[in-house]
Chain A
Amino acid sequence: MKKKFLIIIISGLIFGFGLALSGMAKPEVVLSFLQLKDLGLLFVLLPAAILAGFSLFYFKGKKAPMTNLEYGMRRYPVGRNTIIGGILFGLGWGISGACPGAAYASIGIGNYPMVIGVIAMMLGAATYHLFAKACPDNIIVKHHDR
């Protein structure tokens, strides 16, 4: 097996492990955070973003040894899509208490009804590609230095 795939597997295993450990894999925990009853999830997202940030800024401009890809930031132009997508996502997150990664981990901890939730997410993704993609994104702020 290619080393690259081994890396993806290890990273995914740790990602799922961390999501399960943090409680995000339980929709009840996420919903209680979203009702501001328990602010713990901020302590999940922020350290993860800060650690990711260290590596993103440290390696910027260098090349990744395994793929020879130039390390890039994750910056996209801000457009109408960012705002509309955020509103739709926020509504769905508030209704279900599940975001994609946490939903995958939720299946992993035995939460079998979430299989239906993830299929619904895939239908949502498919809807965009099949019907909404023709709408232009109307870029509001260009911010694309990778």
Chain B
Amino acid sequence: MYLLGGIILGIAFWIMYIPTGYIPGASGSLSSIASFFSKKIPGDFRKHRVIYFVATVAGATIFMFLFSKPFVTQVSLWRLIVGGYLVGLGAVTARGCTSGHGIAGLGSLAKSSIIFIAIIMVVAIVTATAMNALGVAL
């Protein structure tokens, strides 16, 4: 399932990149949607990115209806809020996330992406392991 998932993500990249030359990345949608609320936030490619965001949600829904069932996480809300905030801030600061840097950037053998992915892996592994060791509840 992991490998198949990875191959599908690669194919999704091709479908965007080969006809249009656009390099997809998920975190771009964060700024684009936030730009509806403030003119100080850049909303470049806003229409594209909002559509991409909605399609990503819908694609997962299609999978759920066909092959799975609805899922609700046990991870507590404070972890989603604090973690989510840092993820959003970090992704925009570093110009990309696990998809932009992790798929397209690593695929480009870009130093910026290799460094970013190495840092997030180490920091996230230490953070998640330490929280678990300290007995922080999900």
Q: Which residue from B14, B59, B111 sits with its C-beta under 8 Å from A105?
A: B59
* Residue contact B56 to A19, C-beta cutoff 8 Å: yes
Q: Is there an interface contact between A67 and B22, defined as CB atoms closer than 8 Å?
A: yes
With a CB–CB cut-off of 8 A, which chain B residues contact A17? 8, 59-60, 62-63
CB-CB nearest in chain B for A22 = B5
Contact of B119 with A90 in the complex, beta carbons under 8 Å: yes
Given A100-B29, A116-B77, A125-B27: A94 touches B126 (CB 8 Å cut-off): yes
Tell me which of A43, A59, A127 contacts B6 (CB under 8 A). A43
Residue of B nearest to A110 (CB): B70
Interface of B is mostly: helix
8 residue pairs of the A-B complex, CB under 8 angstroms, read A12-B53, A20-B59, A56-B17, A96-B84, A101-B97, A114-B73, A126-B41, A132-B93
User: From A70, which residue of chain B is reached at the shortest CB distance?
Assistant: B21
Task: Report, as a range, how many residues of chain B touch the other chain.
Answer: 35 or more
List A6-59 residues whose CB lies under 8 Å from chain B.
7-28, 31, 34-36, 40-41, 43-56, 59
Contact B90 A55 (CB under 8 A): no
Question: With a CB–CB cut-off of 8 A, which chain B residues contact A54?
Answer: 107
Question: In the assembled complex, which residues on chain A have CB atoms less than 8 Å from the CB atom of B72?
Answer: 110-113
Q: When chains A and B are docked, how far (Å) is the Cα of A25 from the Cα of B120?
A: 18
- Chain B hits for A23, CB < 8 A: 1-2, 5
On whether A87 and B3 interact (CB within 8 A), knowing A9-B51, A12-B51, A45-B103, the answer reads no
Give B60-103 as 1s and 0s: 1 = Cβ < 8 Å from A's Cβ atoms. Answer: 11111001101111110101111111111111111111111111
Determine whether the beta carbon of A34 is less than 8 Å from that of B74: no
Set of chain A residues within 8 Å of B59, measured between Cβ atoms: 12-20, 105, 108
Closest to B118 in A: A86
In the bound assembly, the distance between CA atoms of A27 and B116 in angstroms comes to 21
Known: A95-B127, A108-B64. A126 touches B37 (CB 8 A): yes
For the complex with contacts A49-B106, A85-B95, A95-B127, 17 further pairs of A-B residues with Cβ separation under 8 Å are A8-B16, A11-B52, A15-B56, A16-B55, A47-B9, A75-B111, A81-B93, A81-B94, A82-B115, A83-B115, A91-B123, A99-B26, A101-B26, A101-B97, A116-B81, A120-B82, A130-B40
